[in-house]
Chain A
Amino acid sequence: MTKRLNARRWRSWHRWLALLVGLQMVLWGVSGAYMVLFELPFIHGNHLVKPTHQSVIAPRTAEQFAAVAQRFPRATQITLTSLWLNEQPRPVYHITRRGKTQLLDAQTLQPITLSADAISAIANRTYALGDAPLAQLTLLTENAPNEISPSLLPVWQANFADSGSTSLYFSATTGELVSKRHTYWRGFDIMWMLHIMDYDTRSDIQNNLLRAVIIGNALFMFTGVLLIIVTIFRRQAVRGRS
């Protein structure tokens, strides 16, 4: 008899905890399933892009590297690579000084300023899902959208009119692809927010709300385990009599 009364009390606790903290368990289940079911490389948008060209530095250009590098003694890093410009791959230098990078034409060593048209051509060649329906190209210099890091500014945002509302981000100084975003990445970001219960920065896993709700749910599960044990116990008692 006391066993049965206990079961009733635990059931009552189980229901109240379900109401108080169990809804977060549902959100964990849903957000967890989302993150598990969609492959991470897909979420990262690797399927959205391809290289604009096969990167090859001509031997003559490569041979000049040491000589060119010596002309920028205060640089912290110098990189020779290639960039899709004027309908062809062009060798370029990235000269990094005090954390800032400058783009130079490898032949003339003159600074290159990337126009909207140049970025548009790169974006169209980068986009990998069929004919590129580039819908909008915007230069962002001051306020970064929530989906990218502000440290990437200044940046070109290339929006595509596809089913995943793809946004590709290109550095305004070097023309390099720096971020890929699409609907499922944005969904993942929301699920992550729901999972860690940081609705503000979506990155703080050490918040007290999360900790409190975890403890609450541990109690919730504990009452569930007790109910299971009691249920099985009661069944056996009945079977023993019949």
Chain B
Amino acid sequence: MMRFLQWLHRWTSLIIGMQVMIWLITGMYFSIAGHRTLEAHQYRQQTHFHDALQSASTGTAMVPLKQLPLTANTIQSVSVRLVHGVPQYVISTERGTEYFNASTGALWHTSAELATQIAQAGYRGPGRVSHVSAVANSDELYGWQGPGYRVNFADDLATRIYVDRASGTIVDHRNRLWVFGDWAFRLHFMDYSGGRNFNHLLMVSAALFMLWFVLSGLILLGRNLVRGDLNPRQRPSYLAFFQQHEQPIASACGGGGTCGLCTVRFSASAPAPNAADKRLLSDSELAQGIRLGCQHRFDAKAKVSVVNQGAQQLNLVLQHKRQLSPSVSELTFTCADRAEPFVYQAGQFLQFKIPTANEHEPLRRNYSFAAAPSRMPNNTFMVAVRCMPAPKPGLQPGVGSSYLLGLEPGDTVVAEGPMGEFLLTDSNISQRTQVFIGGGVGVAPLRALIQSELKHTPARPIHFFYGARTPEELCYEQEFRALHAQGVVHYHSCVSEASAHAESTATEHFEPTMVHELAEQWLAHQHSNHVDVYVCGPPAMLRATLAMLDQLKVPAKHIKFDDFGI
């Protein structure tokens, strides 16, 4: 969930990141410039209409309204004011606002000279008028229809004042700095027309992306705070500590508290078990001071050791590579530089260190031994690797399997082990029927377990239910058929997909069947208390099988499973 959130945060940042930078830079510009500069009002002089209408200079009487050349019929309001000493009628009608000279009764006319005087009255800067030009409208005045005059001043800001011709009033000031501010507004509001509208679709979309971006960041920050990532004195977990100190410790989930492999033992005063400890460890283990290494932080005062003490680092050399099925290969490694034999049990696994760009943080991938120790020479091991093709074109194939399958005889790889508790039950305790249920490459540890069981005389009754997608994908098929023929292993296989080659290999029915259904048909007629069940296969198969066993009321303590370390 959090990983997904992190991924989404990262990709949203690619979409919105550039605009966030623009918002910050333009925001900084606004803050440095301030309102007055952004409005180009540095040299503006407020010009209220503060002269009395009839001073000595404007002694003449006002022309009555009916003598005005009005084009509209109805008047909504009438005003009179002084514009640069001349009384002006402002008449608002249903057709808009009209302006007249109240002394002459003529339609108001702003000459270039008058516009210059009006502009000068509204200016308090150091410059003089440098140029006056009549303009129809201006790019610098969004929404002003014009026409009017642009009065330029020779000052440090290259001030220009626009005067509306119809009313004789100043529209606004503009200058060199205003242009920067205007571009900042265009970029900040993402309205590149200059209209400074921030309610448009592009801006709304950007705002929603931004909202998601900052909220996902906030959630991730909260997670970091809760985890203590920002605590400078935070100590590593025992899992991280042992990994950093090159002390072999099993882990499949990388510290997520879900695989239950990284067990450590506290010799005294073990910390209280948390939810993950309780879920994955037995009561007796908890009582012995065993905890999950990833769930507890390093404490120099505590005496802690890795439970799986037998694990060692092995320098492996690939000896032999054999194709078991179209997608599964069997790799045989030797450990040439060891004098004493490496001890392990059937059902356990090795953790391979797959090199990455960072030599200190290799990928760790688990592979089960595919043969019992008794069947192999000393210091020689066999694993089965399934080629994980890219799920989709463009995505990368499985990194671990690609690396191992790319090795050639003579190549070396480092692994740690043995690890894992997927072992046969003690025949002194249980004389129950041994039932193995496997899917695909999950055959590997089951094969080792079956070989190990067959070493005993007499062996307990063995049933092996094995399923794959197609007949070709059934590994070690001939070997198990031979054991079946000898009567030492009851071998039941099935495939889940109908195959074109069905008749060529079919000695049994190859109706598409799921392996848990096949096992269920047999188990349904057995006493659920009289079997030990070992399950290994891909996640969906494992889930279905465990659900089936639960339904048949096979006691949980008689079920062991290996989940490929997923």
Contacts and interface: CB of A to CB of B under 8 A. Distances in A.
A145 interface: no
A57 to B, nearest CB: 5
A237 B357 contact: yes
Given A75-B53, A76-B52, A205-B34, A221 B198 contact: no
A202 B218 CA distance: 26
B64 interface: yes
Interface stretch (B120-128, B201-209, B513-521, B527-535): B201-209
B81 interface: yes
Nearest to B225: A19
Contacts of B213: 29
Interface string B59-90: 00111111000000011111111100000000
Contacts of A72: 53
A69 B53 contact: yes
B343 interface: no
At the interface, is chain A mostly helix, strand, loop or mixed?
Answer: helix
Q: How large is the interface on B (under 10, 10 to 19, 20 to 34, 35 or more residues)?
A: 35 or more
Contacts of B77: 55, 57, 79-82
Interface in A60-79: 62-63, 65-67, 69-70, 72-79
A237 B203 CA distance: 37
Contact of B82 (A30, A76, A80, A218): A76
A218 B29 CA distance: 13
B361 A29 contact: no
B78 A214 contact: no
B378 to A, nearest CB: 32
A62 B198 CA distance: 43
A70 to B, nearest CB: 7
Q: How large is the interface on A (under 10, 10 to 19, 20 to 34, 35 or more residues)?
A: 35 or more
B214 interface: yes
Nearest to B205: A36
B199 interface: yes
A67 B80 CA distance: 12
User: Which of A39, A210, A238 has the largest number of chain B CB atoms within 10 A?
Assistant: A238
Contacts of A40: 197-199
B117 interface: no
B487 interface: no
A77 B10 CA distance: 62
B24 A217 contact: yes
Nearest to B11: A228
Given A37-B204, A73-B54, A221-B21, A57 B61 contact: no
B14 interface: yes
A63 B49 CA distance: 24
Contacts, number: 190
B258 to A, nearest CB: 23
B357 A238 contact: yes
A33 B207 contact: yes
Given A63-B66, A70-B61, A57 B75 contact: yes
Interface string B205-223: 0011011011101100100
A73 B402 CA distance: 98
B326 interface: no
Interface string A80-94: 111000000000000
Nearest to B36: A206
Interface in B2-60: 10, 13-14, 17, 20-21, 23-25, 27-28, 30-32, 34-35, 48-54
A214 B27 contact: yes
Contact of A56 (B24, B75, B204): B75
Nearest to A32: B207
B54 A39 contact: no
A238 B229 CA distance: 26
Contact of A22 (B30, B217, B396): B217
Contacts of B34: 205-206
Contacts of B31: 205-207, 210-211, 214
A177 interface: no
B78 A79 contact: yes
A97 to B, nearest CB: 8
A183 to B, nearest CB: 18
B507 interface: no
User: Which of A22, A26, A59 has the largest number of chain B CB atoms within 10 A?
Assistant: A26
Interface in A1-31: 1, 3-4, 15-16, 18-19, 22-23, 25-26, 28-30
Nearest to A203: B35
B360 interface: yes
B505 interface: no
A231 interface: yes
A166 B19 CA distance: 36
Contacts of A205: 30-31, 34-35
B540 interface: no
B397 interface: yes
B51 A76 contact: yes
Given A33-B210, A237-B356, A238-B399, A78 B13 contact: no
A224 interface: yes
A28 B30 CA distance: 15
- Nearest 3 interchain pairs by C-beta: A29-B214, A237-B357, A73-B54
Given A78-B79, A221-B20, A238-B399, 8 more contacts: A56-B74, A69-B80, A76-B82, A77-B81, A81-B76, A214-B31, A221-B17, A241-B399
13 contacts: A1-B358, A15-B229, A36-B198, A36-B207, A37-B199, A57-B78, A65-B78, A70-B54, A72-B53, A73-B53, A79-B79, A228-B10, A242-B402
